[in-house]
Structures are given as structure tokens and as C-alpha cells.
A and B are shown apart, each in its own frame.
Chain A
Amino acid sequence: GEDVEQSLFLSVREGDSSVINCTYTDSSSTYLYWYKQEPGAGLQLLTYIFSNMDMKQDQRLTVLLNKKDKHLSLRIADTQTGDSAIYFCAAPSGGYNKLIFGAGTRLAVHP
């Protein structure tokens, strides 16, 4: 089945760019997702990319997909303290809104 892996921690300075990386195993994934979870809250869909795309940009967010290496990344430009959260990479597995999530990358933004 699908497996999704991501690094656990990332610390950046306010104003810098953040890059969160993710690898997945199932090459048949049609969409790949990035979700954000703030403390005490549920998950919020940040963005997603279709498998026939290499890149998707949405304001400060840029998603890069390398299908050959099964590698997905999320770049946050001009990172702010409000971006401090846990970011999850997710891929569909087994149909009907079943997502496999990575362990989550905790992003800490410091002044």
C-alpha cells in the first residue's frame, strides 16, 4: 500500500523561505495534498497538485512534484510566525477519500 514519509522538524527565520519535503511510494496517486494543522485545531487543506503537473503556485505556496523520484515539496515564501504549524503530506490510497498521511513536519518560525 501507499506510504508517505516526511521529516519531522523544520526551523526557519521569519521572512525566509521554508521547504518541506515528502516522499511517497505509490506512483499511481492521481493527486497529492498538503494539509496544515494549527495547535488545537483540525486539518486545513492548503493545496494539492495533480500528478500530471510538475509545479503549482498559489500565492506564497509553491508545490513541486518529481514523479520519477516520487518526491513532493512545499515551499512557503516569506514565512511568517502565523505559518508555525504542522504540515502534512497526504496521498490517496484505496479509494473514496481514504488518505495516507505522513507523520507531519512541525514548522517553527522564529524572529
Chain B
Amino acid sequence: ETGVTQTPRHLVMGMTNKKSLKCEQHLGHNAMYWYKQSAKKPLELMFVYSLEERVENNSVPSRFSPECPNSSHLFLHLHTLQPEDSALYLCASSQPGGRSGNEQFFGPGTRLTVL
């Protein structure tokens, strides 16, 4: 595997379910990100992890719970979601402080539908 991978690619869940999204990066980066992309809205940064520590949390509801067990893996745990949480969830990674100016590499996303 190369680059940034995300599983599952598609997820349908009820409002009472608990599920997790997984992201893995094979680039040796030390920062990872979760974004939410909703129809007709700008890309929203949700969480940032650097060296497995959360460095940014942009007022995301507590029904979204991130976990970064190591610099290659990032999870987004979901519980009691609402239909308005249906969106494409994108994971990205980068190597901040390098000469590339924080170029981020994105995974293909998980298309989440909450019924």
C-alpha cells in the first residue's frame, strides 16, 4: 500500500450505531488530519494530530471521537450520529516544517450516510 488509505470507503449507519473510520498513512509523516466534506459547504478541518498528540480540535461535537495510537494510524469513532453528519470524511497526512510548505496528502475518503 502506498500513500494514504481509508476504510471503509462507504458506510451506512443508524443514529444509535457505533462505528469507526480508519486511516493509515505509509509516507512516514508525523501529522494527520480529519476533514469533513459536505455538499455545498467548504472543507471543514475537524482534528489535527502531531506526533500522536491532538493539536487542534475545531469545536467538533463529542459524538465524534478521534484516536491516534501511532503516527501511521488515525481513527474516528462515531456514536449517536445525526443525519446532518452524513458527508465524505477525508483523512490527510503531512510533514510540517519541511520545505514543501505543509503539503497534505489525502486519502480517498469514507462516504458516510446516517439514516
A, B from the same assembly:
no
